Amino acid sequence: MNHRHLLPNEIDLLLDSEVGFGVAPLRAHVEECAPCRAQVDEARAVVEALERIPRFGPAPSFANRVMADVQVIEPWHVALTAAVSRFIPRTTGMRVVFGVTASLASIAISSAAVWLAFRGDVAMYLAGLIDERLRATLTAGAASAVRGLLGSGAIEAIGAQGMAAVAVGTAVAVVAAGSAALGLRAMASASRRSRE
Ligand SMILES: [Zn+2]
């Protein structure tokens, strides 16, 4: 008989039914020692009870449901990149349309802004919505802004170009806006098709 009782890890070795160096003496001790045999039997009963317990696991959709409620804070540049890339089409053809449309839209917006800046008084006069005094104030403001940006000669130059310049500018803006609208419609229908 060995000189000492079994240690917990030695009981584990016996329960795992491992065979190897050192297991045989442990078995021999358990054969002869009632307290150690009782401990091993008790431990074996626990292991067998644990193996009979049904195994519980989360439902497959559990992770998704949790993550749906988690606020993931992403850096602004990541969010911006994702937002922009969502609008960029996947096919090369649609990318060309997208690029042209974006350029046309920016041209339309720029020309409209420039037209308004230089001919804001005309727009307001035609619309007939703004009263005389406000119109005069805004016109004076626009004129002084132009003078500040381009020098006092710019006002005379704009005045000299007259209605021809306004007509050309308006035509460019209208054509650009119309083409941009067509491009946007093409992209919208393309993305609808790809989603179906
Ligand atoms: Zn013992």
Residue type (1 letter), 174: V
Residue type (1 letter), 118: F
> How do the pLDDT tens digits run along the chain, 196 residues long?
557 999 999 999 888 876 777 888 899 999 999 999 999 999 999 999 999 998 888 888 999 999 898 887 888 888 888 888 877 777 888 888 888 888 888 888 888 888 777 776 666 666 666 566 666 776 677 667 666 666 666 556 656 666 666 677 777 778 888 888 887 787 777 767 666 5
pLDDT for the residue numbered 172: 77
| Cα–ligand 1 centroid distance for 45 (angstroms) | 18
Report how far apart, in Å, the C-alpha atoms of 27 and of each of 15, 24, 38, 66 are: 11, 5, 13, 50
Domain positions in the chain are 8-52, 89-195
Q: pTM value?
A: 0.31
Cα–Cα dist 124/135, whole Å: 7
| Cα–ligand 1 centroid distance for 13 (angstroms) | 15
pLDDT for the residue numbered 46: 94
Helices (H) and strands (E) in the chain — how many of each?
Answer: 8, 0
| Cα–ligand 1 centroid distance for 1 (angstroms) | 9
Nearest to 165 by CA among 126, 119, 125, 133: 119
pLDDT for the residue numbered 149: 60
Helices (H), 16-75: 23-32, 34-52, 62-69
| Cα–ligand 1 centroid distance for 5 (angstroms) | 4
pLDDT for the residue numbered 19: 74
Residues in the chain: 196
| Cα–ligand 1 centroid distance for 37 (angstroms) | 7
| Cα–ligand 1 centroid distance for 15 (angstroms) | 16
Cα–Cα dist 179/120, whole Å: 24
| Cα–ligand 1 centroid distance for 49 (angstroms) | 24
